[in-house]
């Protein structure tokens, strides 16, 4: 009699969802994707004046490429900086099937999460992000059937091996598209959703690229203005203008789920390319500041006004890098804390005013 009862209780505990994220209800919490070679959680926390909500790192996943000890090291640095969340982007470069992602790979990520959790650090696992975009092999090129099967297999295997289910969250995070001009074409999000049972947090990637070309392309027009147009975040998140009901990401994945799924901005920034603009240094700094500020203010104020977006957390992409751009390699400085001092000071003014 007692044993079955205990087993039932245990099953209920194991199946219970992760505890709700305790982010402040006002402004979204801020966290950072950092370049671990160029900066550290401690220096970012010092600049910010307090520990951010979370730090992120990208990890190759599959073919034994993920070393749990590396994740543990990162968790140690996060904890030393006074923060309590590490955001793992798992990039399955070796295929989505059981050759690309073997049981031993899933055991390795579970081991990594358990080690971080044992240090008191929460983990957010973002497996195979931006899957609804053409640029990663695990997304559009693989197809939604293969993607969803892999997502479910990884999440099920991971959860079965977690020592504390309440300290590791699974995040599903597609690329956000403008629905303008999309008309009644296919749903850009829903067909990639692995299902409520596998997803603890819903998020998305959305960058502002002030230099994006082809303004005549209606799909990119919203992104191509310089700076970000007013309401860009809320319009795109709401699928406006011109999107079908399926394009209202906030509604489909937030409201309809009665807050059971917090919504976060999983990756964002401004792809600022000073070299292409040719301003003098002062002009350049002023323009950088104003363009970046326009975007971070949309994020900081996302939960205000008549139609609050109720975003729990924003993960800023704090990188300075050369990457594949829209026309060849482009140098982009996304930084708001560790780059230009003027930009940093302006961000800190806004951030401290919003998040007491
Ligand atoms: C799991 O983590 C939560 C949150 O940190 C903690 O309150 C709880 O005691 C942990 N449970 C176990 C079994 O360690
Ligand atoms: C946002 O949160 C407020 C306060 O909890 C709530 O009244 C409102 O309905 C929420 N809006 C959305 C779009 O979730
Ligand atoms: C930023 O990146 C560019 C291009 O890779 C590089 O030339 C520059 O030195 C970097 N700046 C800093 C401060 O790291
Ligand atoms: C930028 O700020 C840092 C830290 O406050 C300071 O050490 C550095 O000298 C400043 N750089 C410039 C160019 O003002």
Ligand 1, residue 122: give the atom nearest the CA. Answer: 5
DSSP character at residue 232: H
Distance 308 CA to ligand 2 centre (A): 6
Distance CA 356, CA 352 (A): 6
Which of 57, 72, 267, 288 is an active site residue?
Answer: 267
Residue 3 lies in a domain: no
CA distances from residue 23 to 55, 132, 264 in whole angstroms, order as listed: 15, 28, 11
Indicate if the pLDDT at residue 152 is higher than 50. yes
Tell me: pLDDT of 215 over 50: no
Average pLDDT over residues 41-66: 97
In a domain, 17, yes or no: no
- Token pair of 280, please? 């003098």
340 domain residue, yes or no: yes
Q: What is the pLDDT of residues 153-163, one digit of tens each?
A: 999 999 999 99
Active-site residue 72, yes or no? no
With a CB cutoff of 8 Å and minimum separation 6, the contacts of 262 are 20, 21, 23, 201, 202, 312, 313
Digit-coded pLDDT (tens) for 232-252: 999 999 988 877 788 899 888
Task: Find which of 118-132, 244-258, 296-310, 320-334 is predicted with most confidence, using mean pLDDT.
Answer: 118-132
With respect to residue 24, please indicate whether it lies within any of the assigned structural domains: no
Residue 188 has pLDDT above 90, yes or no: no
Judge whether 15 lies within some domain. no
Q: Where does residue 278 fall: left (phi above 0), alpha (psi -120 to 50 degrees), or beta otherwise?
A: left
Structurally, how many domains does the chain consist of?
1
Position 218 in a domain: yes
Which domain CATH number covers 201?
Answer: 3.20.20.80
Lowest mean per-residue pLDDT among 9-18, 63-72, 265-274 = 9-18
pLDDT at 57 over 60: yes
Q: Contact 207/33 with Cβ under 8 angstroms?
A: no
Indicate whether 82 belongs to any domain: yes
Position 11 in a domain: no
| DSSP-derived secondary structure for 11-64 | HHHHHSPPPPP---SSSPEEEEEE-TTT--HHHHHHHHTS--S-EEEEEE-STT
Tokens representing 273? 């390319």
Closest CA to 325 of 209, 228, 181, 178: 209
pLDDT at 194 (0 to 100): 96
Judged by average pLDDT, the poorest of 128-132, 269-273, 295-299 is 269-273
pLDDT for the residue 221: 44
Question: Which ligand is closest in space to the CA of residue 272?
Answer: 3
Nearest to 85, CA basis, from 42, 129, 43, 55: 55
Q: 257 in ligand 2 pocket by Cβ < 6 Å? A: no
The alpha carbon of 341 and the centre of ligand 4 are apart by a number of angstroms equal to: 6
Taking 60 as the threshold, does the pLDDT of residue 10 lie above it? no
Residue numbers of the domain that contains 306: 29-354
Nearest to 199 by CA among 136, 138, 264: 264
Whether 130 is catalytic is yes
Protein residue closest via CA to atom 10 of ligand 3: 320
pLDDT value at 2 more than 50: no
CA angle 212, 91, 100 (to 5 degrees): 135
How far away, in angstroms, is 259 Cα from ligand 2 center? 9
- Kindly tell me if the per-residue pLDDT of 335 is higher than 70: yes
Q: How far apart are CA 174 and CA 171, in angstroms?
A: 10
Q: Which of 72, 91, 130, 180 is catalytic?
A: 130
CA dist 328 and 325 (Å) reads 5
Higher pLDDT, 328 or 3: 328
Task: Give the H or E element holding residue 222.
Answer: helix 218-224
Cβ atoms of 96 and 147 within 8 Å: the answer is yes
Against a cut of 0.85, is the pTM above it? yes
Tokens at residue 115, please? 């080690």
């Amino acid at each position: 009699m007692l044993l079955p009862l205990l087993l039932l209780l245990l099953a209920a505990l194991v199946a219970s969802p992760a505890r709700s994220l305790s982010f402040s209800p006002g402004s979204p919490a801020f966290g950072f994707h950092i370049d671990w070679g160029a900066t550290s959680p401690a220096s970012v926390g010092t600049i910010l004046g307090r520990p951010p909500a979370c730090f992120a790192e990208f990890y190759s996943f599959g073919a034994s490429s993920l070393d749990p000890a590396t994740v543990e090291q990162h968790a140690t640095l996060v904890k030393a900086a006074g923060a309590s969340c590490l955001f793992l982007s798992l990039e399955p470069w070796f295929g989505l099937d059981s050759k690309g992602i073997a049981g031993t790979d899933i055991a390795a990520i579970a081991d990594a999460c358990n080690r971080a959790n044992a240090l008191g650090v929460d983990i957010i696992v973002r497996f195979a992000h931006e899957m609804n975009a053409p640029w990663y092999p695990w997304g559009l090129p693989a197809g939604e059937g293969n993607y969803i099967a892999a997502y479910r297999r990884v999440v099920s295997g991971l959860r079965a091996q977690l020592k504390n289910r309440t300290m590791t969250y699974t995040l599903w995070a597609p690329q956000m598209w403008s629905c303008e001009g999309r008309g009644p074409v296919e749903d850009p999000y829903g067909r990639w959703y692995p299902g409520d049972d596998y997803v603890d947090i819903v998020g998305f990637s959305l960058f502002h690229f002030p230099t994006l070309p082809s303004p005549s392309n209606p799909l990119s027009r919203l992104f191509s203005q310089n700076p970000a147009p007013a309401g860009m975040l809320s319009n795109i998140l709401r699928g406006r203008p011109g999107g079908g009901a399926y394009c209202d990401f906030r509604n489909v994945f937030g409201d309809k789920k009665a807050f059971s799924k917090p919504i976060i901005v999983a990756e964002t920034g401004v792809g600022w390319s000073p070299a292409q603009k040719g301003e003098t240094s002062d002009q350049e700094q002023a323009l950088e500041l104003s363009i970046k500020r326009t975007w971070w203010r949309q994020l900081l104020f996302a939960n205000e006004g008549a139609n609050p977006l109720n975003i729990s957390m924003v993960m800023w992409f704090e990188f300075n890098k050369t990457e594949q751009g829209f026309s060849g390699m482009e140098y982009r400085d996304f930084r708001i804390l560790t780059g230009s001092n003027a930009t940093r000071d302006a961000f800190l003014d806004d951030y401290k005013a919003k998040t007491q």
